[in-house]
């Protein structure tokens, strides 16, 4: 037996498997495609969809009111001109990072455990980026002029201000969205063809048929598919690092104490992957239970994702530590004040909740028992999601509310419209996700079939 391969798939060790035994090519295809095609709409799905759709409506109400009244309906004021909107933007875009990491970097690194989670991690990325992209636009005050951020031929003979990180954001996020969408779609094509071939209804045949773009599974198709996947993975890999780096520049290039720091790019990227994996777990654990996919998304997957969270969480903890250390080591009174204000200032509860959520509680992932208990892991992932949101709140609001000049000091309290917009995007995200798990194969059929094939080869050996 080849020990290389057995470490990849977990077979031959009599323990952690990436795929429960007994699966053949046919059973994998049946199991995944039946969720979309034959099992029909389940009541649990329907109720979940209704709830998310209601939240989406809340989002529309909040945005309509915002367009009528302007950003004054939020709790922002002049020192704290950026509050919930940018907190949510960074939070969502961070969540989006796990998808690309799983699909691109882990593909290039030949990590077999990515196969059954990459599809919905990528979908999650797309939906999270969609939610993220809206906040800077809504925050602009006159969102209908958002196209001023794009360099296009115009009768003003104006370029966007290329020295502004807002413009960098536009390029970073739109590139990320485009590459993620292409990656996701290219990966879907063979599965869409499977659905087309298995669909019984004419409408489904036509829709999946159009989306499958004439895939016949010939050797030429497969070879091009492999090349395209690799090329896109190569394109997407730098994006994992670049997008959140650019987002961190929004802060790092400003002079505000608590923002003006060179540690921001790496610490933001680690935080993004941390929150991304937390969100993957938050979604994967209920889904695998509800759709009985425990044999495809095994305990081993959860275990590995728990370890990734632990590792990135430690990097984030290091970031917090260095921020605090540098504030004192630099001798800069403003930096020192900023850190003390975080710890004992008016928002101290937020800071210490953040430390509890992002550093203290996730230390439980050192225990194998926690990583292998779906319920406990789910709880930890929720806590990390909250913690990462609080981290952005602390960076943005708590840094801004005590800037250099005491006459500018103020407090920020979110209004109901702040909350409605934020919770509304969660509704948008979940609505899109519910539609995705109902109408598209949420696990890559093709890649799991490849995994079956490898497992069989191994067993034969």
Partner 1 sequence: MPQIFHHSTNFISRMSIYGAVLIIGGLTYALYAIAMSPWYTDQNIAREQPVPFSHRHHAGELGIDCRYCHTSVEKSSFAGLPPTQTCMTCHSQIWTNAEMLEPVRASYRNDVSLAWTRVNALPDFVYFDHSIHVNKGIGCTTCHGPIAEMPLTYRAGTLYMSWCLNCHRQPEQFVRPKSEVFNPYYEPPSSTHPVVAEGREYTDQAAMGRQLVKEYKIYSLQNCSTCHR
Closer residue to partner 1, CB minimum distance, 17 or 189: 189
CB of 212 to partner 1, least distance (A): 10
Look at residues 274, 252, 256 and name the one whose alpha carbon lies nearest to residue 264.
252
Which C-beta is closer to partner 1: that of 44 or that of 214?
214
Rounded CA-CA distance 237/255 in Å is: 30
CB 125 within 8 A of CB 21: no
Residue with tokens 């991690």: 121
Torsion sign over Cα 255, 259, 261, 264: negative
Tell the smallest beta-carbon distance from residue 208 to partner 1 (Å). Answer: 9
159 or 328: whose CB is closer to partner 1? Answer: 159
Find the shortest distance in angstroms from Cβ 142 to partner 1.
Answer: 13
Q: Residue 134: which residues within 8 A CB-CB, separation 6 or more?
A: 425
Q: Which is nearer to partner 1, 158 or 231 (CB)?
A: 158
HSE-CB for 98 with a 13 A CA cutoff? 32
> Least distance (Å) from partner 1 to the CB of residue 160?
13
Angle, CA of 99, 93 and 430, to the nearest 5°: 75
Least distance in Å: CB of 158 to partner 1? 7
Are 364 and 370 in contact, with CB atoms under 8 Å apart?
yes
Nearest to partner 1 of 75, 190 (CB atom): 190
Instruction: Give how far Cα 25 sits from Cα of 1, 8, 449, 456, Å.
Output: 22, 19, 5, 10
Q: How far apart (Å, rounded) are the C-alpha atoms in residues 5 and 3?
A: 5
Nearer to partner 1, 15 or 157 (CB): 157
Pick between residue 178 and residue 330 the one whose CB is nearest to partner 1: 178
* Residue 158 or 227 having the CB closest to partner 1: 158
User: Taking the complex as a whole, how short is the minimal distance between the CB of residue 205 and partner 1, in angstroms?
Assistant: 5
CB of 208 closer than 8 Å to CB of 192: yes
141 Rama class: left (phi>0) / alpha (psi -120 to 50) / beta: left
> CA–CA separation, 370 vs 378, rounded Å?
10
- Minimum distance of partner 1 from residue 196's CB (angstroms): 7
Instruction: State the residue for tokens 């794009």.
Output: 150
List contacts with partner 1 (CB under 8 A).
153-158, 196-197, 205-206, 209, 213-214
Q: Residue 211 CB, nearest distance to partner 1 (Å)? A: 11
């Amino acid at each position: 037996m080849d020990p290389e391969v057995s470490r990849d798939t977990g077979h031959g060790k009599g323990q952690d498997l990436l795929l429960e035994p007994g699966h053949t090519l046919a059973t994998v295809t049946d199991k995944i495609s039946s969720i979309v095609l034959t099992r029909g709409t389940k009541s649990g799905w329907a109720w979940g969809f209704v709830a998310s759709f209601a939240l989406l409506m809340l989002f529309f109400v909040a945005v309509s009111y915002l367009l009528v009244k302007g950003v004054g309906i939020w709790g922002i004021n002049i020192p704290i001109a950026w509050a919930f909107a940018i907190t949510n933007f960074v939070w969502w875009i961070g969540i989006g990072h796990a998808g690309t990491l799983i699909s691109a970097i882990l593909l290039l690194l030949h990590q077999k455990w990515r196969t059954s989670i990459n599809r919905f991690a990528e979908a999650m990325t797309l939906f999270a980026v969609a939610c993220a992209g809206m906040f800077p636009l809504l925050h602009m005050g006159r969102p209908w002029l958002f196209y001023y951020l794009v360099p296009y031929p115009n009768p003003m003979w104006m370029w966007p201000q290329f020295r502004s990180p807002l413009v960098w954001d536009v390029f970073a996020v739109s590139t990320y969205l485009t590459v993620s969408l292409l990656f996701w779609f290219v990966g879907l094509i063979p599965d869409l063809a499977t659905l087309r071939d298995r669909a019984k209804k004419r409408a489904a045949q036509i829709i999946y048929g159009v989306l499958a773009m004439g895939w016949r599974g010939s050797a030429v198709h497969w070879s091009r598919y492999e090349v395209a996947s690799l090329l896109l993975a190569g394109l997407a890999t730098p994006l994992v690092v670049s997008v959140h780096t650019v987002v961190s520049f929004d802060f790092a290039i400003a002079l505000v104490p608590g923002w003006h720091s060179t540690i921001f790019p790496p610490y933001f990227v680690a935080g993004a992957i941390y929150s991304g994996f937390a969100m993957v777990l938050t979604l994967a654990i209920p889904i695998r239970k509800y759709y009985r996919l425990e044999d495809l998304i095994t305990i081993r997957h959860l275990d590995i994702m728990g370890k990734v969270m632990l590792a990135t969480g430690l990097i984030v903890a290091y970031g917090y530590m260095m921020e605090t250390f540098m504030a004192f080591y630099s001798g800069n009174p403003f930096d020192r004040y900023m850190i003390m204000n975080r710890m004992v200032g008016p928002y101290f509860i937020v800071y210490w909740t953040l430390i509890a959520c992002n550093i203290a509680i996730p230390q439980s992932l050192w225990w194998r028992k926690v990583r292998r208990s779906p319920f406990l892991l789910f709880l930890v992932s929720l806590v990390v999601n909250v913690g990462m949101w609080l981290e952005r709140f602390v960076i943005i609001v708590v840094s801004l509310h005590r800037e250099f000049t005491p006459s500018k000091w103020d407090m920020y309290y979110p209004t109901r419209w702040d909350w409605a917009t934020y919770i509304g995007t969660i509704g948008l995200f979940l609505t899109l996700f519910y539609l995705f798990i109902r109408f598209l194969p949420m696990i890559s059929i093709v890649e799991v079939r490849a995994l079956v094939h490898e497992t069989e080869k191994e067993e034969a050996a």
